[in-house]
Amino acid sequence: MLEVQDVHLHYGAAHALRGVSLACQPGQVTCLMGRNGVGKTSLLRAIMGQHAISGGAIVWDGKPLGSSPPYDRARKGLAMVPQGREIFPLLTVGENLQTGFAGLPSSERTIPDDVFELFPILKQMLGRRGGDLSGGQQQQLAIGRAMVRRPKLLLLDEPTEGIQPSIIIQIGHAIEYLRKRGDMAILLVEQYFEFARDLADTFAVMERGEIVMAGNRADMDEDRIRANMSV
């Protein structure tokens, strides 16, 4: 389980996270919402260790992660699907998936079958270059690459951003499947209210580096949340 406790983060003098607290449990989806520039990606980067925090703590399985680097957090079971996907355009789909093997023991260097069950297009396009895929297919590839690591915490940064509706549905099914499997906590940054509401067990809404609303799915007040979203 993940606990974010009163976390602050600065970019130089800019105070991007101002005392953020949040928890993520296995078998649950936590949806993080909020307008552009409120600090959603900054929070994921803080959790993954890609940017140092300037106050508070990030606690994983009861132990503070301190200043441990991203590769150490990846080894502990944290994985991120970054905003904008960041797949390798010149590597094939298969090679992109294999980049997820980094740091895994050789016994675990296999692509789990469910990656191809959830995203059959990746099997069909295994030998094609990542850059030849559509945006939606690249998003599926980025999720598949994270699943290769068999993470215990999956951070998804706006996986539906700029993606066609038919693929959004498949991504929703994949998140639902991973939630039901129960061995993974999922933190989903999302700008589409319906997508977030359909998947969320718990939610939080950010504004200017702070969480201004949080609760269980039943507490999601559509009007109030929409007033804090860009789309």
Ligand X SMILES: Nc1ncnc2c1ncn2[C@@H]1O[C@H](COP(=O)(O)OP(=O)(O)OP(=O)(O)O)[C@@H](O)[C@H]1O
- Residue numbers at the binding site for ligand X (CB under 6 A): 11, 14, 16, 34, 36-42, 83
User: Closest distance between ligand X and the C-beta of residue 59, in Å?
Assistant: 21
Q: Which residue is nearest to Mg ion (CB)?
A: 41
Residues near 17 by Cβ (< 8 Å), separated by ≥ 6? 7, 8, 9, 39, 42, 43, 46, 53, 209
CB of 40 or CB of 85, closer to Mg ion: 40
Q: How far is residue 60's CA from residue 4's CA, in Å, rounded to a whole number? A: 9
User: Closest distance between ligand X and the C-beta of residue 37, in Å?
Assistant: 4
User: Closest distance between Mg ion and the C-beta of residue 40, in Å?
Assistant: 5
CB of 36 or CB of 166, closer to ligand X: 36
Site for Mg ion in 1-40 (CB under 5 A): 40
Strands 55-60 and 63-64: antiparallel
List 28, 30, 41, 140, residue binding Mg ion (CB under 5 A)? 41
Written as one letter, the residue type at 128 is: R
Residues near 168 by Cβ (< 8 Å), separated by ≥ 6? 136, 160, 192, 195
User: Closest distance between ligand X and the C-beta of residue 189, in Å?
Assistant: 7
